[in-house]
Chain A
C-alpha cells in the first residue's frame, strides 16, 4: 500500500469538491499536497492517473471551462450534489432489514460491496442493526467461478469474451439473473448478432474483459421476462387423463383438475385431467410413480408407459 498515494488522492478529491469553479491543472499542482516536487512529465502522468482512479471509484470528476470565450481552458471540479449520497432515511424496522442484508452474500466480493454500502449508510447517520435475527437465514451463493467477473462487467457495462458451446463469443452483458440456484447472463452476443442467454456454469473458460467500461448502452424497454423465457417451463401442449392413487403424485394433482365422471377405477384411485408439455417427458414422469399413477388416455401415451414399465418388470 502507498499511504502517500491515498493522501494525495484524498487531498485532490477535497480540493475539487471545495472548488466553486473549474480548477486548472496548474492551480491544482500548486495547492494539492503531493504534486509539489514532481517534474512536469511526472505531474502530468500522476494527475491523469489520480483523476482516472477517482472516476473508477465512482467520484464524478467533471471536466469543463469557466469561460465561454476560451472553451479550451480546461479545468476540473466535483459538484457536491453529484458526489454526495442524496438524502435518504430509514425507519428502525427498515434498518433491521438492512442489517440482515449484510449476511446474505456467500461470495467475498459481493459481501464486501454490501458491507461498503452499509458503511456509507452508517456514515449518513443510519444504523443498520447488525445483530442476527432469529428465525431467518437468507443466503445467496454463487458457486460459478464466472460470477464475480461477470457481475463486475455487467455493473460497469464492459464487453466480455468467453467460450460457450464451442464458440468464442463477445458479449455485451445486460442482466445477471438467478433462477433455482443457478446464475444466468442475458446480453447482446456480438458474435451471433442477437440477444442471448448464457448459463454461467456452462462457460467454457474464465470471461475476460474487452475494452473499456461504459462501452454500450442497455436497450431501452429491456424486458427481463422476455429474455429469460427460455428458463421457464414450456407451455402445456396436450392433456392426459390419469388415475392417481390417494395422496400420491402431488406434482400431478397440483397442476391437474379432478375428473368427476370417470369410468370405474381400481379402489383408492381418482381420475385427474393433467396438462403436459412433451410426450417423452410426461411418459418418464408417470413411469416414475410406478403403480400410483395410471394413464387412462390418450391411448398412445398409455402404450408408451406400458412399454417402458414392461422393460423394468422383466
Chain B
C-alpha cells in the first residue's frame, strides 16, 4: 500500500481517537498508532486542511497546533461527523483473531475465559466466513495441564511434572519453579527453573503428562535465557561428527541442523554438531544399515553397545521360549 493510503487509513482512525481522548499526549498517541511522533505531526498537518465540503473556515477540523508544538498535547474538535473509526479490514481483524488464539494457548483461569469471550466478539464482527480464512493449531497439552501451570505461575508455587522426555526417551518427574508459558514455532512451552538440574529448562506442554503441587514457592531467579536458540544453539561442548550415509538417509540433512552436506559415493556425507550423546545414539540406531561410516569412529560406540545389548535381550527372550521363532 502506498504511503498516502496508509496515512488516510490512519487519519480515519486518528480523528475519532483524538475525540475519544481529549488532550491526548503526542508520544502516547504515536505509540498507539505504531508511528513516530514526527509522522504523527505530519498527520496533524494534513488534518489541518481537512473538513466538510465547501472549504469555508468553519468547516475545517480544529486542532490546537500551539499546544501540539509547545506542550506535546493534542486537542481536536469540530469533527463530530467522524466520531467512530472505520470497520476493520479483513487483514486487521484476522491478524488480531489469530494473535488472540496464540494468547489463548498460554492463558488459564479467568484470563483464558476473557480471551475466549473477546475472540467470540471479534469473530462476530468479522463474520463467520471471514474468520475461517486462517487456521492455527499448536502442539500442546490437554487444557487441564495448561490450567494448572497457569495457576501455579500466578500463585508462584513449585510443581512436580511428569515429563515424557524426547531425546532420552524416558519419563521423568522434575520439580520445576514455573516462570512463563510461551508459544514458539508451533509448540507451547513451559519455561521454568528445574530444581533437579539447578538451571533454566524448557518443557513442551504436549510432553507433560501431569502437573502436581510440589513443596515451596518460586525464588527470584531473574529472566530465563533467550528462547530462540532452541536446540540449534551451539553449545561449547558440542562435538562435530561426520556421518556417511546412503541416499535413503538424506532426510536427516533437512530435518536436523547440519554443518554441511556433500555428495559422496552415491550417498551423502553429513556433518552434524552433537551436543547430546544420547541423541546421536538414538539417531544411529534409527538409521541402522543406512549409516556407512561414522567419524570419529568412537562416536558410534554407544550406539553399537546399545544394539548389542538389545540383541542379547532378544537372544534371551527367544531362547527362553517367551517368544517363538516361528513366523
User: Interface residues, chain A, CB within 8 Å of chain B?
Assistant: 1-3, 5-7, 9-11, 13-15, 17-18, 31-33, 53-54, 56-59, 82-86, 88-91, 93-94, 96-98, 100-102, 104-105, 110, 112-125, 130, 134-141, 151-152, 154-156, 174-182, 218, 222, 224, 228, 243, 246-251, 253-254, 263-266, 284-285, 287-292, 294, 296-297, 299-300, 302, 306, 308-314
Q: CB distance A264 to B284 under 8 Å?
A: no
A157 to B32, CA, bound (A): 29
Q: CB distance B90 to A155 under 8 Å?
A: yes
A61 to B227, CA, bound (A): 47
Complex: chain B residue closest to A241, CB-CB: B323
Q: CB distance B121 to A88 under 8 Å?
A: yes
Q: CB distance B103 to A56 under 8 Å?
A: no
Complex: chain A residue closest to B153, CB-CB: A135
Which parts of B31-85 form the interface with A (CB within 8 Å)? 31-34, 42, 45-47, 49-55, 81-82, 84-85
Q: CB distance A119 to B121 under 8 Å?
A: no
User: A97-B111, A123-B85 given as contacts; is B49 within 8 A of A178 (CB)?
Assistant: no
A104 to B4, CA, bound (A): 27
Per-residue 0/1 for B4-18: is the Cβ within 8 Å of any A Cβ (1 yes, 0 no)? 110111111111110
24 A/B residue pairs, CB under 8 Å, sorted by A? A7-B46, A10-B11, A15-B52, A84-B85, A93-B110, A97-B103, A98-B118, A115-B33, A116-B9, A135-B180, A136-B103, A136-B180, A137-B181, A137-B227, A138-B183, A152-B91, A155-B94, A224-B135, A248-B171, A294-B317, A296-B317, A299-B323, A309-B288, A310-B307
User: Interface residues, chain B, CB within 8 Å of chain A?
Assistant: 1-5, 7-17, 20-21, 31-34, 42, 45-47, 49-55, 81-82, 84-96, 98-100, 102-103, 105-107, 110-111, 113-115, 117-118, 121-122, 125, 129, 132-139, 150, 153-154, 164-165, 169-172, 179-187, 191, 207, 209, 227, 281-286, 288-289, 291, 300, 303-304, 306-311, 313-314, 316-317, 320, 322-327
Q: CB distance A113 to B118 under 8 Å?
A: no
Q: CB distance A13 to B33 under 8 Å?
A: no
Task: Apart from A250-B165, A311-B288, list 7 A-B contacts with CB within 8 A.
Answer: A31-B53, A85-B88, A97-B103, A104-B103, A110-B95, A114-B96, A140-B99
In the assembled complex, the CB of A123 is this many whole angstroms from the nearest CB of chain B, namely 4
In the assembled complex, the CB of A290 is this many whole angstroms from the nearest CB of chain B, namely 3
In the assembled complex, the CB of A259 is this many whole angstroms from the nearest CB of chain B, namely 13
Interface of B is mostly: helix
Complex: chain A residue closest to B55, CB-CB: A33
Task: Select which of A17, A138, A246 is within 8 A of B106 by beta carbon.
Answer: A138
Measured between beta carbons, the chain B residues less than 8 angstroms from A141 are 184-185
Task: Select which of A14, A100, A247 is within 8 A of B53 by beta carbon.
Answer: A14
In the assembled complex, the CB of B171 is this many whole angstroms from the nearest CB of chain A, namely 4
Complex: chain B residue closest to A90, CB-CB: B118
Measured between beta carbons, the chain A residues less than 8 angstroms from B285 are 287-290, 309, 312
A174 to B122, CA, bound (A): 20
User: A123-B17, A137-B182, A178-B186 given as contacts; is B171 within 8 A of A250 (CB)?
Assistant: yes
Q: CB distance B49 to A7 under 8 Å?
A: yes
User: A98-B118, A120-B13 given as contacts; is B46 within 8 A of A6 (CB)?
Assistant: yes
A100 to B171, CA, bound (A): 34
Measured between beta carbons, the chain B residues less than 8 angstroms from A7 are 46, 49-50
Measured between beta carbons, the chain A residues less than 8 angstroms from B187 are 180-181
Task: Select which of B5, B106, B107, B172 is within 8 A of A56 by beta carbon.
Answer: B5
Measured between beta carbons, the chain B residues less than 8 angstroms from A54 are 8
A311 to B122, CA, bound (A): 58
Q: CB distance B288 to A94 under 8 Å?
A: no
Q: CB distance B169 to A289 under 8 Å?
A: yes
Measured between beta carbons, the chain B residues less than 8 angstroms from A140 are 98-99, 102, 136, 183
A224 to B134, CA, bound (A): 9
Q: CB distance A178 to B136 under 8 Å?
A: yes
In the assembled complex, the CB of B198 is this many whole angstroms from the nearest CB of chain A, namely 22
Task: Select which of A53, A175, A265, A294 is within 8 A of B4 by beta carbon.
Answer: A53
Q: CB distance B303 to A10 under 8 Å?
A: no
In the assembled complex, the CB of B44 is this many whole angstroms from the nearest CB of chain A, namely 11
Task: Select which of B45, B90, B94 is within 8 A of A3 by beta carbon.
Answer: B45
A58, A123, A134: most-surrounded residue (chain B CB, <10 A): A123
Complex: chain A residue closest to B100, CB-CB: A101
A57, A182, A254, A284: most-surrounded residue (chain B CB, <10 A): A57
Q: CB distance A285 to B286 under 8 Å?
A: yes
A51 to B59, CA, bound (A): 22
Complex: chain B residue closest to A97, CB-CB: B115
Task: Select which of B129, B164, B288 is within 8 A of A287 by beta carbon.
Answer: B288
Q: CB distance A10 to B8 under 8 Å?
A: yes
Measured between beta carbons, the chain A residues less than 8 angstroms from B82 are 14, 17
Complex: chain A residue closest to B82, CB-CB: A14
Q: CB distance B107 to A136 under 8 Å?
A: yes
Q: CB distance B1 to A56 under 8 Å?
A: yes
User: A294-B314, A312-B288 given as contacts; is B88 within 8 A of A137 (CB)?
Assistant: no
Q: CB distance A135 to B150 under 8 Å?
A: yes
Q: CB distance B184 to A139 under 8 Å?
A: yes
A202 to B150, CA, bound (A): 37
Complex: chain B residue closest to A264, CB-CB: B322
Q: CB distance A313 to B107 under 8 Å?
A: no
Q: CB distance B3 to A1 under 8 Å?
A: yes
A5 to B164, CA, bound (A): 61
Task: Select which of A93, A104, A248 is within 8 A of B170 by beta carbon.
Answer: A248
Complex: chain B residue closest to A227, CB-CB: B135
A182 to B132, CA, bound (A): 18
Q: CB distance B87 to A137 under 8 Å?
A: no
Q: CB distance A123 to B20 under 8 Å?
A: yes
Measured between beta carbons, the chain A residues less than 8 angstroms from B172 are 247
